[in-house]
């Protein structure tokens, strides 16, 4: 094996090790990591979909319960991809076992890929469970499997990266709950999960367009239902643009050792 | 070939504290090297920079000829680090900690498992391989840190206070294993507060104080520079005070215990002759301090006097 091939093989083994560790971490405690989203989403479907939704009627030409499925699935993906990486990486800082990686020859991009893939794995796992719950309440079949899967994975990647950046700057366990509570939750709830932005006055519609979650929810809604408030190209451009920016920031932080080295 | 070369290493922390003030150090391949110094002298900062856990402010580090700035992956692949403080995921089983570490160094899982078994057996931890980290004693955690640092078979092993908080029996066993590793060709650098450890294990010693290297020497040569040693003598019969022994500085600790300072120019025979002439019989004798400890204190004291004069 050439030196270059050996090096790439080493990177691959390191990545596999990190991913294996991350997946084991959340799957060992599935009652805390997978189950809560399934229960919460079931409650959303029962209360907002069935009880209240039947009085709301159609939205964008779909039964209300069908309309909220994409947003609820994506909300679970966003929350879980983010919280997996933020809690895992912050714990490794707090207990200092991040040093196991810092002393190893693993380059920053492999470390980042490992953590982000762990977050994506949890986001996708929970998203599939929530999707399964949705199937019990609705008859939705994806309008476009490719768009659905792409948005599913890209959104998980983006918020896993967000969780990583949060963890780098966090100095206490309080710091890792501030962003999800004060930034992520409002953006998600105001991102068109429960309504079409056509219902909003013009000013609020314009403001909503500055919310990146709106683009993801609508792209995912297109994948599942074939309808969207936002053009698909704009949605993918927005998601990919944010991913590139977050990758760049994360790598710079990791290479400089921000938050992990003195 | 040198295992480690440090040139003009400076470190200023964000607080403005200057931990290293131009450290130069060279460690030969195959050496067993001690880095000694009081708390806050800069030992852990120096080791932290070499092992990539601390960012340097300026200076150059080469490990087996590879420059840390230009080939960090190559440097890290040849280094094993045992930090001073425990840095484990406390909820992972022992074996997984070692297997994961091997994975981070690119060792495939089957090979990683085989190596983990080898080192866990060597360090007497195999029976605890399924225990979670948090259930291990302090001594077991110290040994596990060594197993973890060795799993990728580094050519240079750096240990920061490896036996802190470890009981004597385990400490001796760890010393034996470190000697074995060194005899097999692994270069070892350690910092320690147990100067007996440095005297017993290390061929060469560097003393660091206030962020500067105060001395680098062979351990034997350094000890040969020891001017004064203090011995504690336990007497067979009580002596009345004051006790004067011409040529010797004697302190009476209690009726049957004397502390005698012996200058390098004096011999124990002369001391016993003088005691014999006074009819004093000695039952047993020991060094009041470890010899290296005494030398270390003398050097640090001299360094501080020098700083005070310069100031």
* B45 in any annotated domain: yes
What domain range is A34 assigned to?
3-256
Number of domains in chain B: 2
pLDDT score of B247: 83
Chain A residues close to B101, C-beta within 8 Å: 100, 104
Both B12 and B82 in one domain: the answer is yes
Q: Is residue A23 part of a domain?
A: yes
Determine, yes or no, domain membership for A262: no
Q: Look at A262 and B13 and tell me if their CB atoms are within 8 Å.
A: yes
Q: What's the rounded Cα separation, in Å, for the pair B9 and B16?
A: 16
Q: Is B51 a member of any domain? A: yes
Asked if residue A111 belongs to a domain, the reply is yes
Same domain, B97 and B200: yes
Check if the interface score ipTM surpasses 0.95. Answer: no
Lowest mean pLDDT among B188-192, B249-253, B301-305: B301-305
Determine the Cα–Cα distance for residues A42 and B267; give it in Å rounded to an integer.
88
Residue A19 lies in a domain: yes
A261 in any annotated domain: no
Q: Which residue of B has its CA nearest to A24?
A: B92
pLDDT at B19 over 80: yes
Indicate whether B309 belongs to any domain: no
Which residue in A22, A5, A18 sits closest to A104, CA to CA?
A18
Question: Which residue from A9, A17, A96 is facing B104, i.e. has the nearest CB?
Answer: A17
**pLDDT value at position B305?**
63
pLDDT < 50: residue spans in chain A: none
Q: Do B132 and B242 share a structural domain? A: no
Q: What is the pLDDT of chain B when averaged over all its residues?
A: 88
B236 lies in which domain range? 228-291
CB B58: neighbour CB atoms within 10 A? Answer: 12
Is A107 in contact with B101 (Cβ distance < 8 A)? no
Whole-number Cα distances in Å, B187 to A183, B83, B103:
51, 17, 23
Q: Check which CATH number belongs to the domain holding B280 and give it.
A: 3.30.70.1560
- Report whether pLDDT(B309) > 50: no
CB contact under 8 A, B83 and A99: yes
Is B299 part of any domain? no
Each residue's pLDDT tens digit, B87-145? 999 889 999 999 999 999 999 999 999 999 999 999 999 999 999 988 898 889 999 99
Residue B123 parent element (H or E): none
Domain co-membership, B213 together with B247: no
- Asked if the structure places residue A124 within a domain, the reply is yes
Q: If we measure between CA atoms, which residue out of B30, B90, B26, B77 comes closest to residue B51?
A: B77
Q: Considering the domain boundaries, does residue B113 fall inside one?
A: yes
Residue B290 has a pLDDT of 61
Q: In the prediction, which pLDDT does B291 show?
A: 64
Can you tell me the mean pLDDT for B43-65?
96
Reported as a single tens digit per residue, the pLDDT across B253-287 is: 888 888 888 887 788 888 888 888 888 888 888 87
Measured between beta carbons, the chain B residues lying within 8 angstroms of A106 are 104
**Cα separation of B200 and B220, whole Å?**
11
Cα of A110 to nearest chain B Cα, Å: 10
Question: Do B125 and B205 belong together in one domain?
Answer: yes
B256 in the same domain as B171 = no
- Using the 8-state DSSP alphabet, how is residue B126 labeled? G
Taking the C-alpha atoms of residue A131 and residue A142, their distance in angstroms, rounded to an integer, is 11
* Model pLDDT for residues B153-195, shown as the tens digit of each residue: 999 999 998 887 778 888 888 899 999 999 999 999 999 877 7
- Give the number of domains in chain A: 1
Domain identity same for B160 and B131: yes
Same domain, B171 and B63: yes
Q: What is the CATH number of the domain that holds B110?
A: 3.40.50.300
Q: Which whole number is the average pLDDT over B12-40?
A: 93
Q: How far is it, in rounded angstroms, from Cα A2 to Cα A22?
A: 30
Cα separation of A116 and B193, whole Å?
41
B286 plus B163 within the same structural domain = no
Q: Is residue B120 part of a domain?
A: yes
CA distance A92 to chain B (A): 7
Is B217 within a domain?
Answer: yes
DSSP A23-91: HHHHHHTHHHHTHHHHHHHHHHIIIIIIIIHHHH-EETTEEHHHHHHHHHHHHHHHHHHHHHHHHHHHH
Query: In this structure, is residue A245 part of a structural domain?
Result: yes
The contacts of residue B308 (CB under 8 Å, 6+ apart) are none
Gap between the Cα atoms of A216 and A59, Å rounded: 18
Q: Which residues of A are less than 8 Å from B94 in CB distance?
A: none
CB contacts of B100 in chain A (<8 Å) are: 17, 21, 100
Answer whether B103 sits within 8 Å of A99, measured CB to CB.
no
Is B296 a member of any domain? no
The answer to whether residues B14 and B33 belong to one domain is: yes
- Taking an 8 Å cut-off on Cβ atoms, the answer to whether A97 and B87 are in contact is yes
């Amino acid at each position: 094996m050439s030196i270059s091939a050996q090096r790439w093989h080493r990177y691959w083994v390191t990545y596999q090790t990190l991913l294996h560790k991350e997946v084991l971490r959340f799957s060992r405690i599935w009652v805390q990591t997978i189950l809560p989203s399934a229960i919460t989403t079931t409650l959303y479907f029962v209360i907002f979909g069935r009880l209240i939704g039947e009085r709301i009627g159609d939205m964008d030409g779909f039964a209300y319960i069908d309309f909220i499925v994409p947003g609820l699935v994506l909300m679970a993906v966003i929350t879980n991809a983010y919280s997996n990486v933020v809690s895992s990486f912050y714990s490794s800082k707090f207990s200092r076992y991040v040093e196991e990686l810092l002393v190893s020859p693993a380059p920053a991009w492999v470390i980042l890929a490992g953590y982000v893939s762990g977050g994506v794995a949890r986001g996708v796992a929970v998203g599939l469970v929530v999707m399964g719950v949705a199937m019990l309440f609705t008859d939705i079949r994806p309008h476009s499997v490719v768009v659905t899967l792409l948005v599913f994975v890209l959104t998980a990647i983006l918020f896993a990266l967000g969780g990583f950046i949060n963890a780098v700057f966090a100095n206490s366990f309080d710091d890792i709950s501030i962003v999800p509570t004060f930034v992520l939750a409002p953006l998600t709830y105001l991102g068109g999960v429960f309504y079409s932005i056509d219902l909003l006055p013009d000013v609020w519609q314009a403001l909503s367009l500055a919310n990146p979650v709106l683009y993801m929810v609508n792209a995912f809604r297109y994948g599942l239902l074939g309808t969207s408030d936002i053009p698909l190209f704009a949605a993918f451009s927005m998601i990919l643009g944010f991913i590139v920016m977050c990758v760049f920031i994360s790598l710079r932080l990791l290479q400089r050792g921000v938050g992990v080295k003195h | 070939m040198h295992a480690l070369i440090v040139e003009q290493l400076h470190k200023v922390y964000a607080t403005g504290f200057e931990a290293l003030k131009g450290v130069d150090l060279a460690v030969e391949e195959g050496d067993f090297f001690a880095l000694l110094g009081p708390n806050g002298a800069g030992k852990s900062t120096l080791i932290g920079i070499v092992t990539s856990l601390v960012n340097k402010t300026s200076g150059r580090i080469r490990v087996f000829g590879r420059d840390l700035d230009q080939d960090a992956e190559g440097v890290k692949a040849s280094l094993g680090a045992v930090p001073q403080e425990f840095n484990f995921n406390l909820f992972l089983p022992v074996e997984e900690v070692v297997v994961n570490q091997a994975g981070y160094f690119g060792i495939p899982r089957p090979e990683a498992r085989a190596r983990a078994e080898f080192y866990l057996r060597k360090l007497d931890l195999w029976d605890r391989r399924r225990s979670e980290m948090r259930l291990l004693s302090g001594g077991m955690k110290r040994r596990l840190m060594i197993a973890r640092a060795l799993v990728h078979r580094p050519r240079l092993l750096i240990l920061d206070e490896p036996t802190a908080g470890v009981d004597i029996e385990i400490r001796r066993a760890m010393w034996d294993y470190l000697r074995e590793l060194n005899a097999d060709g692994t270069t070892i650098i350690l910092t320690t507060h147990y100067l007996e450890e440095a005297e017993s294990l290390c061929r060469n010693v560097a003393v660091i104080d206030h962020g500067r290297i105060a001395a680098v020497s062979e351990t034997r040569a350094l000890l040969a520079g020891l001017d004064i040693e203090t011995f504690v003598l336990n007497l067979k019969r009580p002596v009345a005070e004051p006790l004067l022994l011409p040529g010797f500085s004697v302190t009476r600790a209690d009726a049957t215990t004397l502390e005698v300072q012996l200058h390098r120019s004096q011999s124990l025979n002369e001391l016993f002759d003088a005691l014999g002439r006074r009819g004093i019989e000695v039952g047993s004798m020991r060094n009041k301090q470890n010899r290296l400890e005494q030398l270390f204190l003398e050097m640090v004291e001299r360094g501080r006097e020098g700083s005070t004069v310069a100031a």
